[in-house]
Amino acid sequence: MKNLNPEIQKILENAMNNIAPTKADCVRLLEPSEYSLEASLTRGVADHLSRKRFGNHAMLLGQIGIETFPCPANCKFCVFGEEHTRFPKTSMESEQILDSARSFTADGRLYALFLMLMHTYDLKQLESIVSLVRKSIPESTKIVLNIGDFDLDMAKHLASLGVSGMYHVQRLREGADTNLDPKHRVQTIRAIKDAGLDWYYCCEPVGPEHTTEELVEQIFLGLEYECFQHAAMRRVSFPGSPLAARGEISELRLAQIVAVVYLAMIANLNLQAIAVHEPNALGLVSGANSVYAESGANPRDTTEETAAGRGRDTTACCQMFAETGFQAVYNAQEILFPLKQVS
């Protein structure tokens, strides 16, 4: 194709031969408009290679947001930031948590259930929740936590409770758009890895102001520490958001970033999945094979129960997998659940 940029053509040809792109290559892949031929081909190559690597099978995840309060991390992209939140202090009762956990896991399809607390959290409460949930859901479902920073001793302690992994990210412009120290975020990632836990990562929260170089640096942290799952997520502009004036990227641009995330992770032999947040079909035909169903509090949703707002349930997520051509979802015991059986 004579109109195709020859540099990008070479990068994609190398990827087809299992040669991962460099940081400079990934910057080059992200420079064209999401409407360009180059972006379309990047998405297509990533989709082809991802389906081949993961057997055209999808990973279904679920998350319960357990509590809300004005958070001192004060992330400008999160509805719970203490200087702009409209949420009061709330916490789900144990039975509510268990009802949600059982609903997510009843049919055995869920690979992992994520339990999300705020950046600062009560350890005794966390221990109690993990213990209750672990006893109440199938052994085939892993438990993953999404909490604030911690050290290696805490990571080992959480593993002893039955936690299998952690979602933890050094976000874009950490320390500028948040009150958190980027070094502490990376120290926590090291603790996760050193404790032998699965590390779930993401290039997030992407806005139109972020440069291609910023995106690539964040993407490659996942390669440096060999994440279990990588992903991309766009920033959501909610009412009252300090960053609303910056706008949002399109789902098509997000899909382009997802594709580059996958291609960069060719070199990560520990990688088990690529996710797209929030769930969307464009991402699932651009290299992603994983999405999250959500209930409870959601840092991108002004509705107290996200299942009634932005969040999708497991059936909707599986329908999206089916519509985008995936053959099956698999749980942590590698049992396949054909998607054609999903109603």
Per-residue pLDDT, 343? 47
Return the half-sphere exposure (C-beta side, CA atoms, 13 A cut-off) of residue 280: 19
Alpha-carbon separation of residue 73 from 80, 171, 218 (angstroms): 9, 12, 20
Q: How much of the chain exceeds pLDDT 70, in percent?
A: 96
Each residue of 158-191: pLDDT tens digit?
999 999 999 999 999 999 999 999 999 999 999 9
Closest CA to 238 of 230, 226, 250, 246: 246
CA-based nearest residue to 229, from 260, 200, 255:
200
Q: Would residue 343 count as lying in a domain?
A: no
User: What is the DSSP track for 186-208?
Assistant: HHHHHHHHHTT-EEE--EEEE-T
H or E element: which one contains 39?
Answer: helix 37-53
Q: Does the residue 170 lie in any domain? A: yes
286: in domain: yes
C-alpha to C-alpha distances, 338 to 52, 58, 275, 315, 330, nearest whole angstrom: 17, 10, 19, 13, 9
Q: Are 260 and 231 in contact (CB under 8 A)?
A: no
- The structure tokens listed for 115 are 């339990």
Mean pLDDT of the chain: 94
Within a domain: residue 325? Answer: yes
Q: Is the pLDDT of residue 342 over 50?
A: no
State the helix-helix crossing angle for 251-264 and 23-30, rounded to 10 degrees: 160
Mean pLDDT of all residues in 238-266: 95
Q: For residue range 268-297, what is the model confidence (pLDDT) as tens digits?
A: 999 999 999 989 999 999 999 999 999 876
> Does residue 342 fall inside a structural domain?
no
Confidence of residue 306 (pLDDT cuts 50, 70, 90): low
Q: What is the CATH number of the domain that holds 30?
A: 3.20.20.70
Residue with tokens 């015991």: 333
When comparing pLDDT for 243 and 306, which is higher? 243
Q: What is the Cα–Cα distance from 190 to 336, expressed in whole angstroms?
A: 32
Q: Which two tokens stand for residue 233?
A: 């997520």
Residues 213-235 have a mean pLDDT of 98
184 domain residue, yes or no: yes
User: Is residue 52 classed exposed, middle or buried when 0-12, 13-18 and 19+ CB atoms within 10 A define those classes?
Assistant: exposed
Q: How far apart are CA 206 and CA 27, in angstroms?
A: 15
* Any domain includes 1: no
Q: Given its phi and psi angles, is residue 18 left (phi above 0), alpha (psi -120 to 50 degrees) or beta?
A: left
Domain count for the chain, please give it: 1
Averaged pLDDT for residues 7-36: 98
- CA quadruple 204, 206, 212, 214: dihedral positive or negative? negative
Handedness of CA 292, 73, 163, 103 (dihedral sign): negative
> Which pLDDT score is estimated for 1?
64
pLDDT of residue 186: 98
Contact between residue 160 and residue 194 where contact means Cβ atoms under 8 Å apart: no
217 pLDDT tier (thresholds 50, 70, 90)? very high
The answer to whether position 209 is within a domain reads yes
The whole model's pTM is what? 0.96
Q: Encode pLDDT of 115-154 as tens digits.
A: 999 999 999 999 999 999 999 999 999 999 999 999 999 9
Q: Rounded mean pLDDT of 60-80?
A: 92
Helix residue ranges, H only, 195-313? 212-224, 251-264, 281-284
59, pLDDT greater than 80: yes
- DSSP secondary structure letters along 120-165: S--HHHHHHHHHHHHHHS-TTSEEEEE-S---HHHHHHHHHTT--E
Domain limits for position 32: 6-337
What's the pLDDT at 81? 87
User: In the prediction, which pLDDT does 151 show?
Assistant: 97
